[in-house]
Amino acid sequence: MTDDISPPAELAMHRAGSTNSQQRDGKGSPKKPARGFTFWAIIVALCITSLLAAFENTVVATSLPTIVEKLQIGNNYVWITNVFFLTGSAVQPLLGQIADIFGRRWLAVSIVAVFTIGSAISGAANNGGTLIAGRAIQGVGSGGINMISDIIVSDLVPLRERGNFIAIILAVYSIGTSLGPFIGGIIVEKTTWRWVFFITLPFGTAATVLLFLFLRVRSKRTTPRGALKHIDFVGNSVIILSSISLLFALTYAESPYPWPSWRILVALILGCCGFFVLLPAAQMSRFCQEPVIPPRLFISRTSTIIYINTFINSMMLYWVMFFLPVYFQSVFGSSPARTGVQMLPIVLVAVPGAVVAVIILARFGKYRVLHQVGFAVATLGVGLFVRFDSTTPIAEWVVFQVIAGLGSGMILNTLLPAFQAAHPEEDQAAATSSWAFIRSFGNIWGVAIQAAIFNNRVHRLLHVISDPTIREALQDGKAYEMGPRIFKAATSEQLRNEIADVYSGALKVVWAVGAGFGAIAFLLAFFEKEIKLRTELETEYGLEEEK
């Protein structure tokens, strides 16, 4: 690993086959990319696509307990979220290779179409298996949407200026993120839960049409047979199988299988060996002509740190988004709709904070201080959640959410430009898809780890509840699903207080562990090195009108 002394331009000079497709003006200076109607139409299409993904990422947070109860999914509820993130993360490196081979346009259209189909299947599901299958398809589309949007912006805008356009997309993203929990709660209270998924269908259709009409960007000409030579089948297979193995271990540890169980240990060992032994060996093999996650992306210290901190940030984000509803619904007895309102402080601050952060990044070109301050504030906010219990006043849980949201927002979209800065423009698709993969993979761990911690802690605290029927109902990983219903069904104030004590006690451990991960990321941020963000654009995938 280097000490970040070689700028991307020098790295590119030593790479065989390096091309420079940027246009030059009469004086030999780089020509500014065209930003006419087509450019802005693409930005609008990406905004609608981003709204689609943002809304679906958060709308399930407040409605999930109701969905689990209606379909009687039991402790398999975690797969509703985990399979969504699993498929989304596992296919992103493959989609990045496909984007380089066939171009961005048809891939983007196909991704949004797949997401829309997955939403339709999820909404029409009559059992847990069908819902999980629909969520798996939806996850492929969601993961692809996040990745392809970043790649397209990278193709159209120089690195230093990307923050300005990402801010536009994030402003729209904030609408979906902010309204998702509230609308999800309203839907399950006022109508059928199926509209949690059906509501995205018109957005998906509109985004598909807009991308088809306006995303006219250059692509490489290749035959299907020639394209197969550029796909790393071994690397992609290892990523997918290792992801499934690790997710199985994280999902079923403690419930129904104990940690020492051979099933959990074998799955955990196979998954870790796949990621940390087989994948690196396959990517560095002389037989692998085009690695799906090129080892050259990690030759610098800064790239490696950004990669690790992206994983931690994604974990922390979903650590909060999927267990704050549990706190409000099972400790305060809030309805799903009220829970959406109670979560507004964190979602209303996080994304606007991200918009401001990327504008600052574009203006000054400095990202390290944003990461340091962001992780410090986010860690403080999540750490303060440890104070949450049934007696916490409104002002306190509002302010603590604002602190956590502000910190998370500062680092939400400043990590990718920092990761891209260490690599030449020709590696932007590989860098972006690899970064998107670790971000989505962090989402999986953020849900699965906290679920394991939560279920284990609830099991240890169940003796606090005096009613044996309720104790039995909350065993075997059912606490997430049963919390709101059990709280409302409690026959006395004492019993409700006992239930609230169990849930708030279990969540205190969840928040403490989350803050510990944030502290690790905060310390790592001090070892980043500032790399100059490029103001020139070199790409083979610009707008067709630039030919």
Among the residues of 160-277, which ranges form H helices?
162-190, 195-198, 201-214, 224-228, 233-252, 262-273
Q: How far apart are CA 351 and CA 7, in angstroms?
A: 31
Half-sphere CA count of 127, side-chain side, radius 13 A: 2
**271, 373: one domain:** no
144 and 221 co-located in one domain? yes
Statement to judge: residues 366 and 494 lie in one domain:
yes
Q: CA of 405: how far to CAs of 309, 312, 376, 381, 516, in Å? A: 17, 15, 12, 8, 17
277 and 330 in a common domain: no
Domain assignment present for 18: no
Length of the chain in residues, anyone? 547
Q: Which of 228, 216, 225 has the alpha carbon at shortest distance from 94?
A: 228
CATH number of the domain within which 475 lies: 1.20.1250.20
Q: Which residues of the chain fall short of a pLDDT of 70?
A: 1-34, 57, 61, 75, 163, 174, 177-178, 218-227, 253-256, 259, 477, 480-481, 483-484, 489, 535-547
539: amino acid identity, one letter: T
Same domain, 304 and 178: no
What type of residue sits at position 294? P
Q: Are residues 477 and 344 in the same domain?
A: yes
Task: Return the H-helix or E-strand segment holding 61.
Answer: helix 37-71
What three-state secondary structure class fits 179? helix
Task: Kindly state whether residue 12 falls inside one of the protein's structural domains.
Answer: no
Backbone region of residue 278 per phi and psi (left: phi > 0; alpha: psi in -120 to 50; beta: other values): alpha
Residue 298 sits in the same domain as residue 166: no
- Please report the pLDDT score of residue 17 as a whole number: 39
Q: Which amino acid is at 405?
A: G
SS3 24: strand
pLDDT of residue 218: 66
Query: Is the peptide bond prior to 202 cis by the omega test (within 30 degrees of 0)?
Result: no
Residue 36 CA: distances (Å) to CA of 65, 167, 429: 47, 19, 24
- Give the Cα separation of 475 and 481 in Å (integer): 11
pLDDT of residue 286: 80
Contact between 58 and 121 (Cβ < 8 Å)? no
Interacting residues of 366 by C-beta distance below 8 A, sequence separation 6+: 530
Structural domain for 272, as ranges? 232-289
Find, among 322, 330, 445, the residue nearest to 61 by Cα.
322
Whether 490 and 341 share a structural domain: yes
| Residues sharing a CB contact under 8 Å with residue 282, sequence separation 6 or more, in sequence order | 232, 234, 235, 238, 288, 291
The last residue of a domain, from among 190, 211, 229: 229
**Same domain flag for 252 and 190:** no
pTM of the predicted model over 0.85:
no
Under a CB-based contact definition with an 8 Å cutoff, are residues 191 and 72 in contact?
Answer: no
pLDDT for position 12: 41
pLDDT for the residue 523: 96
DSSP 73: -
Half-sphere exposure of 519 (CA within 13 A, CB side): 8
Residue 94 is predicted with a pLDDT of 85
Q: Contact at 8 Å (CB) between 472 and 438?
A: no
Domain shared by 46 and 102, yes or no? yes
Cα angle 166, 169, 175; round to 5: 135
pLDDT at site 456 = 81
Give the model's pLDDT for residue 18. Answer: 38
Question: Distance between CA 43 and CA 161 in Å, rounded?
Answer: 14
Q: What is the predicted pLDDT for the residue at 11?
A: 39
366 class by beta-carbon count within 10 Å (0-12 exposed, 13-18 middle, 19+ buried): middle
Dihedral angle computed from the Cα positions of residues 279, 451, 135 and 316, in that order, rounded to the nearest 10 degrees? -70
DSSP three-state, residue 543: strand
| CB 255, CB 75: distance < 8 Å | yes
Residue 19 CA to residue 355 CA, distance in Å, equals 33
What is residue 382's predicted lDDT score, i.e. its pLDDT?
93
pLDDT on residue 219: 65
Instruction: Give residue 56's identity as a one-letter amino acid code.
Output: E
> Residue 32 has what pLDDT?
52
The answer to whether residue 24 is domain-embedded is no
Question: Considering its fold, how many domains does the chain have in total?
Answer: 3
505-521, pLDDT tens digit by residue? 999 999 999 999 999 99
pLDDT for the residue 255: 63
